[in-house]
Structure 1
Amino acid sequence: MSASSSFRDRIRQADMETVKAGIRRANRFAAYSSGLPRLINRFRARRSRDVLFIWVPKAAGTSIYNWLHAEIGMLKLKEPFAVRGGFPGRGPVTFGHMDVSLLIERGLVKETFVDHALCFALVRNPFSRAVSLYKYLHERRRVTGDLTDFLEVVAQGVEAVGLYNSVGLSQANPQCRWLFRRSGHLFPHKIWKVEELEQRIPEIRACIGVEHAPAFLNKSSGRVPELSGRDIDLIRSIYEEDFERLGYSVDPKDCVVA
Structure 2
Amino acid sequence: MISHRHQCVFVHVPKTAGISIEHVFLAQYGLTWDERAPLLLRFNPDPALGPERLGHLTATEYVDCGHISEAGFNAYFKFAFVRNPWSRLVSEFNYRRYFTQMSFTEFVREGFPEPCNYSDAYRHVLPQCDYLYDDTGRCLVDFVGRFENLQADFDRVCDTVGIPRTLLPHVNASESGEDASASPRPAGAAAAHAAYYDAETRDLVGRLYQRDIETFGYRFED
Scaled by the length of structure 1, the TM-score of the pair is: 0.64
The percent identity for this pair of structures is 24
Q: Distance in 2 between matches of 1:215 and 1:99?
A: 23
RMSD, matched Cα: 3.1
Select the structure that is richer in helix: 1
Q: For residue 77 of structure 1, what is the aligned residue in structure 2?
A: 41
Is this contact kept in 2: 1:55–1:95, CA < 8 A?
no
Structure 1 residues 1-258: aligned runs within 5 Å: 45=4, 48-72=5-29, 75-79=39-43, 95-138=54-97, 144-153=101-110, 158-160=114-116, 162=117, 164=118, 166-216=119-169, 220-221=185-186, 222=189, 223-225=191-193, 226=195, 227-249=197-219, 252=220, 254-255=221-222
C-alpha distance 72-122 of structure 1, shift in aligned 2 (>3 A): farther
Secondary structure of the 2:145 match is strand
C-alpha distance 80-104 of structure 1, shift in aligned 2 (>3 A): farther
Q: Distance in 1 between matches of 2:166 and 2:120?
A: 33
Structure 2, unaligned stretches of length 5 or more?
31-37, 171-182
Scaled by the length of structure 2, the TM-score of the pair is: 0.74
Query: Which structure is larger by alpha-carbon Rg, 1 or 2?
Result: 1
Q: Distance in 1 between matches of 2:99 and 2:78?
A: 31
Q: 1:139 Cα deviation (Å)?
A: 5.8
Determine which structure has greater relative contact order: mean sequence separation of CA pairs < 8 Å that are 6+ residues apart, divided by chain length.
2
Q: Distance in 1 between matches of 2:21 and 2:127?
A: 20
Is this contact kept in 2: 1:158–1:172, CA < 8 A?
no
Q: Distance in 1 between matches of 2:157 and 2:66?
A: 30
